[in-house]
A and B are shown apart, each in its own frame.
Chain A
Amino acid sequence: MSAVDIVDRPPPPPRGWPRRRVLGYALLALWALLALALVWFLVTAWKPEIFERYAPSYVDGVKVTLLLVAISVAIGAVLSVPIAYARMSNNKVLAAISYAYVYFFRGTPLLAQTFLIYYGLGSFRPALESVGLWVFFREAWYCAIFAFSLNTAAYQAEILRGAIDSVSRGQWEGAAALGLPRWVTLRKIILPQALIVALRPYGNEIILMIKGSAIVAIITVYDLMGVTRLAYARTFDFQTYLWAAIIYLVIVEVLRHGIEWIERRITIHLKR
């Protein structure tokens, strides 16, 4: 008996039409039908004057969405470092304050936070005017950036903390044994390992921000959702929403695959 005969072969895939295959093809046919219906609807609803009028504003809307997310995520990344530091510090007061901050921003809806800043801070108008900050908080755009930055800072602080915690204590101890200062240890030993762990959550956070940023349309910022709402209110044409859905899906999918590609690249040395 040769070795080949002993090998346990995987069972052959079922042939013919078992029930689950029928179901699978039926569901795929349903999706295909929906996709065709979508294309058919968009083709028949195509009006050159609507396209000419609103296509430029959609492009602006995409730019506003991406800019808003980019600025907020960048500011949030800077803010998240001291918050994560405070969260991990041995100082009880610091840890409690940062815990409360993170808990508040992760426990309440982003929409409520945006309203609290955009409408709520109006209650302090005289005080804000006297320090010259009213110019800033009067604008929906700045309020949105402010609210989103504070929100994403809380989430990013947790990502950072989790990633640093995921590096084993032995790495710190090994570096200390070599006589490296803590700061150098963090920068050259801990962070490179932590950031690999953090990449996927960071990517998810950016995608969540892109999706979450749609709510700024409610406080009159003309991002992709905002221009869509405006176009719908003027034309009562449902294709305005469908185009927005397609654009959002494309943005999110491109980002998702981009992040997966980066992850494959930077973990190449871990593959065995």
Chain B
Amino acid sequence: MQSAWTLLSWGPEGWLDDIAYGVFITVSLALATLPVGLAIGFLVALAKQSEEASLRLAGNVYTTIFRGLPELLTLFLVFYGAQIGIQKLLQFVSPGATVEVNAFVSGMIALGVVFSSYSSEVFLSAFRAIPRGQYEGGYSIGLSNVQTMRFVILPQLIRIALPGLANLWLILLKDTALVSAIGLSDILRQVGVAARVTKHAFLFFGLAGLIYLALAIISSVGINAIERAVSKQAVRR
């Protein structure tokens, strides 16, 4: 029977290096998903606040679908669906070829799509909090549509949307745990391997919980710093 300290040491005896690799995968997956989800979410929010009814409808369909599906199912749909789809396309080019879809990219797409459907709602409510006069002021000093968005609306939008987006980031961090189900070596999968080999399941899964908590606490500290920095730019009224 090895002691808990040996099990949690760095190197061939312990599992700490494997778990650290899992933390690296989890964090990099979340960081890679964030810009994708933010960008798509912003575009969908633009569509949903448009005056054009058809654009609004198209945006709402997107949100309805990806907010209604379980994240795990979205992940499987992307992972297996992409595999089958690309396979079918490849048959035209070179029959008999097989492809393996990258689990990291699948996870990024699935989590990004889910994240964007939620973030579009956050952006939308932020858009609604900005009075029309801000747009009109931008146009009246001769800014173009894009310039008004970039220099007048966006700085305010980010400030209003930040708390909601921070919440979504914490949810995203937790949702990355699902990629362990499609074989990506994130925290939960590495810990699961360690638990199966050493039979110290409670120790390792408890450790995983503490790591996720630590990531959440570090994120909160970072978010607070960003919020302070952004609110400093705000015009005092």
Residue of B nearest to A122 (CB): B201
B72 on the A face (CB < 8 A): yes
Sample (26) of A-B pairs whose CB atoms are under 8 Å apart: A20-B50, A20-B55, A23-B55, A24-B53, A27-B58, A107-B174, A107-B216, A108-B174, A115-B192, A122-B201, A122-B202, A124-B202, A211-B71, A215-B178, A215-B181, A218-B72, A241-B76, A241-B77, A245-B69, A248-B68, A248-B69, A248-B70, A249-B64, A249-B69, A252-B67, A256-B68
Which residues does chain B contribute within 8 Å of A122, judged by CB atoms? 201-202
**CA separation between A238 and B85, bound complex, in Å?**
10
Residue of B nearest to A121 (CB): B202
Contact B72 A123 (CB under 8 A): no
Which residues does chain A contribute within 8 Å of B175, judged by CB atoms? 109
Contact with B along A203-230 (1 / 0, CB 8 A): 0000000111111011000000100110
Contact B202 A116 (CB under 8 A): yes
A155 CB to closest chain B CB, in angstroms? 12
**CA separation between A124 and B52, bound complex, in Å?**
61
B108 CB to closest chain A CB, in angstroms? 17
**CA separation between A119 and B69, bound complex, in Å?**
27
Given contacts A31-B58, A109-B188, A113-B209, contact A123 B201 (CB under 8 A): yes
Given contacts A24-B50, A111-B177, A241-B73, contact A249 B201 (CB under 8 A): no
Contact A120 B202 (CB under 8 A): yes
**CA separation between A139 and B84, bound complex, in Å?**
35
Contact B73 A238 (CB under 8 A): no
**CA separation between A225 and B76, bound complex, in Å?**
10
Since A27-B54, A113-B209, A123-B202 are in contact, a sample of 18 more A-B pairs with Cβ atoms closer than 8 Å, ordered by chain A residue number, is: A14-B51, A28-B57, A31-B58, A103-B213, A110-B174, A112-B209, A112-B212, A115-B208, A120-B201, A210-B70, A211-B68, A215-B72, A238-B81, A244-B73, A245-B77, A248-B69, A249-B65, A252-B67
A165 on the B face (CB < 8 A): no
B206 on the A face (CB < 8 A): yes
Contact B52 A20 (CB under 8 A): yes
Contact B70 A212 (CB under 8 A): yes
Within 8 A of B (CB), among A1-55: 13-14, 18, 20-21, 23-25, 27-28, 30-31
A42 CB to closest chain B CB, in angstroms? 14
**CA separation between A249 and B73, bound complex, in Å?**
11
B205 on the A face (CB < 8 A): yes
Count chain B CB atoms within 10 A of each CB in A31, A103, A112, A211 and give the residue with the most.
A112
Contact with B along A117-147 (1 / 0, CB 8 A): 0011111100000000000000000000000
Which residues does chain B contribute within 8 Å of A210, judged by CB atoms? 70
Residue of A nearest to B215 (CB): A107
Q: Is chain A's binding surface mostly helix, strand, loop or mixed?
A: helix
**CA separation between A172 and B233, bound complex, in Å?**
40
B39 CB to closest chain A CB, in angstroms? 16
**CA separation between A104 and B205, bound complex, in Å?**
13
Which residues does chain A contribute within 8 Å of B212, judged by CB atoms? 107-109, 112
Which residues does chain B contribute within 8 Å of A256, judged by CB atoms? 68
A253 on the B face (CB < 8 A): yes
A18 CB to closest chain B CB, in angstroms? 8
A16 CB to closest chain B CB, in angstroms? 12
Count chain A CB atoms within 10 A of each CB in B50, B80, B201 and give the residue with the most.
B201
B197 on the A face (CB < 8 A): no
**CA separation between A269 and B171, bound complex, in Å?**
36
Contact B213 A104 (CB under 8 A): yes
B86 on the A face (CB < 8 A): no
Which residues does chain B contribute within 8 Å of A253, judged by CB atoms? 64, 68
**CA separation between A214 and B68, bound complex, in Å?**
12
Given contacts A21-B52, A241-B77, contact A109 B192 (CB under 8 A): no
Count chain B CB atoms within 10 A of each CB in A24, A28, A113 and give the residue with the most.
A24
Given contacts A24-B53, A238-B80, A244-B73, contact A112 B208 (CB under 8 A): yes
